[in-house]
Every structure is written in C-alpha cells, then in structure tokens.
Chain A
Amino acid sequence: MSLVVNIKKRFASFSLNVSFSTEGGIYSLLGCSGSGKSVTLKCLAGIITPDEGEIILDGKTLYSSEKHINLPPQKRKVGYMFQNYALFPNMTVKQNIMVGMSYLPSYLSFIKKSKYQEIIKLLRLERIQFNKPHQISGGEAQRVALARILVSSPQIILLDEPFSALDEHLRTHLQIEMKDILTKYGKEVIIVTHDKNEALLLSSHVATIELGSIINVLRSEEIFSSPIHRASAELLGYKNFALLDGNNSSWGIKVNNENNYRYITISNDSFSLYEKENRHLVKVINRYNSAGTTLVTFKFIDSNDSKDLIYWNTKEELPSDDTFEVGFKNKSLIYLID
C-alpha cells in the first residue's frame, strides 16, 4: 500500500505546496489551524481540485494535472471522516451505515447484512441502530461515521480532526479505541490534527505541516533521532529554544554542537534540582503554582542579558531563594535545523 502526493493549490491568502509519500500504517498531519492540513485531505478525497501535481494511491492515479486525470470522489475509494461526522440527519444509524455499502449490488444483500452485523458488533452500535443522528451522543456519532466508512471498503481512510467535536475527558479513551480499530483494519490512514498528543498516540508517522508545506515526516517512536526543523519542534509542543553559535547558546551556557545545528531545545520537564549532569546556577523570574505542580520561568545566571526565558514544569520542592542550581541530562537536549 502506498500513497504518493505532490500537489499545489493557490488560494487568495495562502498557497498549498505539499509533497509526501506513505508506505502503509497510520500517518498524522500535525499543524496549526490554517496550515493547510484539511485542504490537503480534501484534495486527496477529490472534494477540492488542486491546481497542479499528482496523487497516486496504490499505483492508481487519482489526480494528475499532466495526464488530465481527476477522478470524482465516488471513484477514488477514499474514506473521509468529517470533523462533524456528517451523518445523514434523515436516516437512522442503520441506514447511515447501509448507505456505505451501496457499491454492492442488491442481489448481494446477504453480504451487506453480514457486514452490517459484524461492524455494529465491533463498534458497539447495536443499542442505537434505529436512532436518528440527533438522538445519539458525540462519541456514538463518531463510531457510526467510522462504521459507515469501514463498510464502504476504502483503500485509505482520512480522518479530519476526529476528536475535536468531543469532550476532553472522553478523548483519550476513544483515541485508544480508534487506534485499535484502525490497526485491526490494516488499511492506510491519514489523521489531521493540531494536537501533538493525539498525533503521537494514534500514528506510526507524524508529518508536520506549516504554511501549506510539509516540514518533516517523522517516525513516532524515533521522533528526535534525525535532525528536525524548529517549526516541527514547536508543533510538537516544545517551548524552550536557544539560538546556537558554535558551542555557545543564546541561553548563555555551552553545549556540544559538533554538527553545527542552528537551534537547541529542551522539554519543560527535563530539569531537576537533583540531576548531576550539566548543573548550572539559575535565576527564577516567576513561579506559578497549580495542583501540586509549579511552572517556573528562569534564566541561566551566566546569561542575564538573554531574552529567552526557560519554562520548567516541576513537582519538586523548590528553595525559597530565587537563585539555585539545577541540572539536566545531556540526552534531553535536542538539536534543530532552521
């Protein structure tokens, strides 16, 4: 299974220029709102037509400006889950799912019935199968939308911010459930999200996207083993950045920059009062307490002229004095390119 995407599309306010390829598994497109991630998905599904480029799914050309191919969405075999799930309001849950199997001729209705029974069991929809969409919960609506896509046997499934319509406290549980189902299904999946935790939890690869272009495609389990761009690190939730000039950082401390990287970053839970490596004197600028955690902003004492505040989230009991020593492990430093 493979997807090759190389498309351009100009809009009044920004232009999309996306190229990436996948080789099976679950991919996340991680980006802020307005970065072009949903537009990319809509181009793949045939809802928006790119200006130029090509989209090839498993060797089949879905779109090619050169060969003048632009398959209608009906012929692409691309399953698309909308942010609001787009369940047909005039149909029951059962009808919504059955409609996904309209590609099967009516003499194969026994196959439709058995596929239907299988999917409602898998997604626990038996209880609500005769309800209308406005009579079910958001989590249930999501499962119905997924069921409808799965029975339509697409070659690839696209999920557009699948959890954004759901309450925060439901999400983690549903994310794990979704991952199990999608892994079991075994088809190619692309998830669009602005939530790094969602991306890392659900997918095998994370592609970061900014201003209409893909910045990095990273394997989730080895996300920082290859050099990545600063913008990707920002999308992945890093807040502490220092500019590097040789081994000197704009934080005022020296680092080991053999490969001449441009920036360095460190996550805001990497510091400790008790860490023996890299101990430095720091000056606390502010402390904010909430629920047993303290968010500290500080500067390294050697760099009082630096503007870069460093964020540190800690549960450790901090000295009342504002100047003390903290340490961090060498391996928690991540080197970045521009």
Chain B
Amino acid sequence: MSLYPLYNSLRIALFSSIIIFFLGLFLGYWVKKFPKVIKGIFDVILTLPLVLPPTVCGFFLLIIFGPNRPVGKLLLDIGIKIAMDWKGGVIASAIVSFPLMYRTVRGAFEAFDENLAFAGKTLGLSNHYIFWRIRVPACKNGIAAGSVLAFARALGEYGATSMLIGYIPGRTATISTTIYQYWRTNDDKNAWLWVGINLIISALVLIFVNIIENTERGKKNEFSSKY
C-alpha cells in the first residue's frame, strides 16, 4: 500500500495551515477595527466558504486557476502549475478551512482586554511589539484552537480539492480522494484502512483542541476568583 495520500494530505494541510495562520491573524485583527456594518460585510465574505458547498469553491477556483483561464495561464507560463497539482490542493483547502481560523481568532481578539494594548502604548512599546508579544500570547489558546481546527479541516478537504486537482495516484491523491476512489472501485478493505487513518487523525486533533480549551478555562477561573 502506498502511503503517498497520507504524505500528500499532510503536506497540503501543513502548507495551507501556515497560510491560514498568518492570514487569519492579520484579518482577525484588521476586521475587528472596522465599524459594525463594514465588519459585517467582511464577516460574510470571509466566512462564506464555511457554508458554501466545497464544490462551489472548487468551481470558482477552476474559473480562476484553470489552465485555459487568464490567471491560470499566466501562472502556467511562469512555471507555476495550480490545477491538477498538489499546490492547487494547498489553495483549495486554505480557502475552505480559512473561516474556521478567522472566526476563532476574531473571537479571541475580541475577548482581549484592550487596556493591555493601551498600557503597552503608554509604556512606549511599539504596535508591532504589542501585537506579537502581548496580544498574540494573550490570545494564544484561541489562535492555537483555530489553527488546529483549520489544519484538521484542510486535512480532510474533499470537494474543492477534487475539483481543482482531481485524483492522480502518486501525484495529487489525498486521503479523502483516495477513500472515494477505493469505494468507487469496490475496494472496501483499502477504503476502510484510509477511513481508519482519517478517524484517528481527526480524533487526535479534537482531543488536542479540548485540552487547549480546558487549560484556558482553568486559567480564567483562577484569575476571576482572585479579582
């Protein structure tokens, strides 16, 4: 049995998580500062992939990155292949799982005590320092939970990925496209095997998220009982 789908899925999930991590931090912080109405509009746009069928995302991605479309063609001309390539998988899963990171991070940033940032400013600390050394550490549990959820979602992404990069064994196959392929070809044994692998990874991720949330709650209780 080739472990390529596991490797490819992990690779896609890892790279898309890195993109999502920074984009989520940036947008989660940036959107929070807008007035209510504009914030609402951004919220809708950035959360849309969560509620849209992944095939709709895949459809739009094909329209943008298809080899015969302007952007896809341009990228192909400079040697970057997106459609039918694992890099396309990174983009597809990043878009589908981005809302999970964005919403969790924004929630964490909104719960952040803004006085801490103001205190940092009056102490002469730069905005950059305040963001990375005070705001992000104070919200680290929310950020970690969002990253892990987004990673898990990216790992299991099927719809948009299969539309954009298809299923080529040894090249674009991921765990979820492999399961579908085995099921379609009546290879129940192998399908069960990959279902099992996926279940284990997902369960581990959720346990991890729970541990993070529990430590967060524990700390908060300790603090509030004091003040």
A90 to B, closest residue via Cβ: B137
Q: Tell whether A33 is near chain B: CB-to-CB under 8 Å.
A: no
State A46–B117 Cα separation when bound (angstroms).
13
Tell which of B113, B121, B138, B219 touches A46, judged by Cβ atoms closer than 8 Å. Answer: B121
A138 and B227 contacting across the interface, CB-CB below 8 Å: yes
State A214–B105 Cα separation when bound (angstroms).
42
Kindly list chain A residues whose C-beta atoms are within 8 Å of the C-beta of B35. Answer: none
Cβ proximity bits A44-74 to B, threshold 8 Å, 1 near / 0 not? 0111000000000000000000000000111
Q: Tell whether A261 is near chain B: CB-to-CB under 8 Å.
A: no
Tell which of B121, B140, B226 touches A137, judged by Cβ atoms closer than 8 Å. Answer: B226
* Interface set, chain A 173-194, CB cutoff 8 A to B: none
Kindly list chain A residues whose C-beta atoms are within 8 Å of the C-beta of B134. Answer: 88, 90
Kindly list chain A residues whose C-beta atoms are within 8 Å of the C-beta of B116. Answer: 86, 88-89
State A80–B124 Cα separation when bound (angstroms).
11
State A45–B118 Cα separation when bound (angstroms).
9
Known A45-B118, A82-B115: A100·B123 in contact at CB below 8 Å: yes
Query: Would you give the shortest CB distance from A73 to chain B, in whole angstroms?
Result: 4
Q: For the side of the interface on B, what is the size category?
A: 20 to 34
Query: Would you give the shortest CB distance from A140 to chain B, in whole angstroms?
Result: 10
Tell which of B118, B122, B138, B227 touches A88, judged by Cβ atoms closer than 8 Å. Answer: B138
Known A86-B113, A86-B116: A80·B223 in contact at CB below 8 Å: no
B123 and A99 contacting across the interface, CB-CB below 8 Å: yes
Q: Main SS of the interface on chain B?
A: helix
Q: Tell whether B215 is near chain A: CB-to-CB under 8 Å.
A: no
B124 and A103 contacting across the interface, CB-CB below 8 Å: yes
Q: Tell whether B125 is near chain A: CB-to-CB under 8 Å.
A: yes
Kindly list chain B residues whose C-beta atoms are within 8 Å of the C-beta of A86. Answer: 113, 115-116, 118-119
B122 and A79 contacting across the interface, CB-CB below 8 Å: yes
State A79–B124 Cα separation when bound (angstroms).
9
A100 to B, closest residue via Cβ: B123
Kindly list chain B residues whose C-beta atoms are within 8 Å of the C-beta of A6. Answer: none
B119 and A80 contacting across the interface, CB-CB below 8 Å: yes
Q: Tell whether B210 is near chain A: CB-to-CB under 8 Å.
A: no
A134 and B223 contacting across the interface, CB-CB below 8 Å: yes
Q: Tell whether B77 is near chain A: CB-to-CB under 8 Å.
A: no
* Interface set, chain B 52-92, CB cutoff 8 A to A: none
Kindly list chain B residues whose C-beta atoms are within 8 Å of the C-beta of A84. Answer: 113, 115, 227
Tell which of B123, B140, B226 touches A102, judged by Cβ atoms closer than 8 Å. Answer: B123
State A29–B92 Cα separation when bound (angstroms).
58
Kindly list chain B residues whose C-beta atoms are within 8 Å of the C-beta of A299. Answer: none
Q: Tell whether A78 is near chain B: CB-to-CB under 8 Å.
A: yes
The residues of A with any CB-CB pair to B shorter than 8 Å are: 45-47, 72-74, 76-80, 82, 84, 86, 88-90, 99-100, 102-103, 134, 137-138, 148-149, 152, 154, 165
Q: What 3 A-B pairs come out closest when comparing CB atoms?
A: A86-B119, A73-B121, A90-B137
